[in-house]
Amino acid sequence: MKRIIQPILRTLSWCSSIFCVVLLLLFLSAGTAFAGISPAGSSGAPGSGRTLINGERLLFGFIFLPHQAVEGKDLSLEEDILILLRDHRDSLRMVAPEGMVPVSGQPGVLLGYFAGDSSAVSFRVARIDLEAGSLPVRVDRSQLVQTTGGRRLHLSPWDIPAWPEAIFPDGLDDDWEDISPIRSFSSIFLPPQVELRSGRAPSFQEGADREDAGQERGDQEGIDQARILAGSDDIASARFWRLGGTMVRHVYSHVGRDSWFLALRTEEQILDNTGYHFRLSPEAELVVLVDGRSGPVVYRRRGESPRWAGQYALNNRFLEIQLDRDLLGQVLEQAARGEAEPLREISLITSHRTPSRVERFYLAELPLPRGLRQP
């Protein structure tokens, strides 16, 4: 019952954002799944995929079906839609409110529902017929399914197949009430190391190459040599420590069937231009660069194009991250190559940037869950 009622209550917590609109224009001009980001080759997202953008402030659960899978089905009938959802429950995915995920670029039908409708007894159904292509697709109330009588089709929450994960990617903390933090920081904690950079801060695309490569050598145009602060007196001179969500109080972890979920509770409200970096090695990291209430998690490795690795959603001082386990297995194996032992920990780093300054705060090592460690 908790899984049925909670998405309905969550609707009230979301405030408006123009994030998806701005990104939609960016993606349309780029003509790719994510501008400068390669989609993961898992979770129904082949390399020639496209981006699905959720245009509503509600979770959207969906399945992607080839056209032959819906032959003989009337998608204006509740019974036929429920049959399809139940038959393909193992491929059910969720996209965060106003979030985005990569989906197949093949022709087919995207069929789903908005979880957390304004009604406490029904979820609205949406359908999109897709041709082959790579341009992004937006799902919103304009794609709601109507019955033959012109009424919007609704599904009862208890008839819909359950989401197979214990965590919903919505940025709210109610799913985490019974999960203890894997790491906590006191209110007087200071990072053992802070890295300061001045000059023109890189864009998101430039950051994929610079933060892990050129910037560390201090030889990129417009970026000065980094300064490392290690003493408490020096660290106190950092401008952005504690601001914008750079100070983390608690870290949570949950390994699900298809995803690894992480959650961070911060000291202050999380603001745009704050970053959360999970460093796997000196050359690779999983990173959230906050720009709006939700967005992609990116895997960055020196010398390679950024790859989509998951999604994030936030609300005030709480950040929720969903990472694709298939991709994680690949990148963890890659990070461990050449090492004497399998990777058992990752580094947590926060950052904040302005057009003229970047500060990175090295917080702690986080243990990898046993279920994710390479043998």
DSSP string, 115-182: ES-SSSS-EEEEEEEE-S--S-EEESGGGB-B-TTSPBPEE-GGGSPPPSSS--SSS-SGGGTT---S
Res 232: pLDDT:
67
Residues whose CB is less than 8 angstroms from the CB of residue 54 and which lie 6 or more positions away in sequence, other chains included: 20, 60, 95, 96, 97, 98, 99, 100, 139, 140
**What is the predicted pLDDT for the residue at 185?**
97
pLDDT of 234 reads: 73
Over residues 185-240, the pLDDT tens digits come to 999 999 999 999 886 555 544 554 554 444 443 334 344 557 887 766 677 778 99
Domain ranges of the chain: 2-164, 183-372
Nearest one of 113, 158, 117 to 3, comparing CA atoms: 158
User: What CA–CA distances, in Å, run from 188 to 91, 184, 191, 233, 267?
Assistant: 45, 12, 10, 14, 11
Q: How confident is the model at residue 40 (pLDDT cuts 50, 70, 90)?
A: low
Q: What is the pLDDT of residue 154?
A: 86
pLDDT in tens, 70-122: 999 999 899 999 999 999 999 999 999 999 999 999 999 999 999 874 445 78
